[in-house]
């Protein structure tokens, strides 16, 4: 009985016990913050890549195969040190035709994404393509997989789409020769 009273009054190990309860929760929060930060950086890269893709294409009046190769290389560099070539990229020229938005030309790079066909109808937010005008649509998707995998253990698809008006003329044409 005396031993039980002594153990009940003894407070020397209480800090260690409290630490044992709190440490796993703190580690989970710590690794969760790291993973969330890394995913936010990847999302910023996707947004930057989509914006840059659309901007680089919208600056031209004619886009050639060599131009697209250079643009794709620049987009890959945005994703460094990740593998930028793992991103799915599609760039398209859209035009308005009697209230419908259709594709003038489209190119895609990556597994799981294809270019739109010519004159295919696409759905875009209202007012994006002006009446009788054209717009460059740049789409980028990237499958984010956590390097730590402690909190975010599944793959997340990050994506963004940008719409830009051609800068040097009414439209950007595509030269496939």
156 assigned to some structural domain = yes
- Alpha-carbon separation of residue 4 from 10, 16, 17, 116 (angstroms): 10, 20, 18, 78
Write the pLDDT tens digit of every residue in 84-137.
Answer: 678 899 999 999 988 889 999 999 998 889 999 999 999 999 889 888 889 999
97 assigned to some structural domain = yes
3 assigned to some structural domain = no
Number of structural domains (the chain) is 1
Write the pLDDT tens digit of every residue in 131-161.
Answer: 888 999 999 999 988 777 666 667 889 999 9
9's tokens = 């009054």
Residue span of the structural domain in which 119 resides:
14-175
7 assigned to some structural domain = no
Q: Write down the pLDDT at residue 150.
A: 62
CB count within 10 Å of CB 56 equals 21
Q: Write down the pLDDT at residue 99.
A: 84
Write the pLDDT tens digit of every residue in 44-88.
Answer: 999 999 999 999 999 999 999 999 999 999 998 998 887 767 889
88 assigned to some structural domain = yes
8 assigned to some structural domain = no
Please name which of 135, 55, 140, 58 lies closest in space to residue 103, comparing C-alpha atoms: 135
33 assigned to some structural domain = yes
Contact 48, 78 (CB under 8 A): yes
pTM as predicted: 0.81
Q: Write down the pLDDT at residue 58.
A: 94
Please name which of 45, 28, 30, 34 lies closest in space to residue 143, comparing C-alpha atoms: 45
């Amino acid at each position: 009985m005396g031993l039980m009273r002594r153990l009940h009054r003894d407070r020397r190990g209480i800090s260690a016990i409290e630490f044992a309860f709190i440490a796993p929760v703190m580690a989970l929060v710590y690794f969760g913050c790291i993973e969330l930060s890394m995913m936010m950086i990847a999302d910023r890269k996707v947004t930057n890549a989509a914006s840059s893709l659309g901007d680089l294409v919208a600056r031209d009046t004619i886009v050639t195969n060599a131009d697209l190769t250079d643009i794709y290389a620049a987009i890959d560099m945005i994703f460094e040190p990740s593998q930028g070539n793992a991103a799915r990229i599609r760039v398209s020229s859209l035009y308005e035709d009697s209230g419908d938005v259709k594709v003038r030309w489209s190119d895609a790079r990556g597994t799981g994404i294809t270019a739109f066909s010519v004159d295919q109808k696409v759905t875009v937010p209202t007012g994006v393509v002006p009446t009788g005008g054209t717009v460059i649509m740049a789409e980028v998707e990237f499958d984010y997989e956590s390097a730590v995998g402690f909190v975010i253990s599944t793959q997340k698809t990050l994506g963004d789409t940008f719409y830009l008006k051609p800068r040097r003329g009414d439209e950007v044409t595509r030269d496939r020769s």
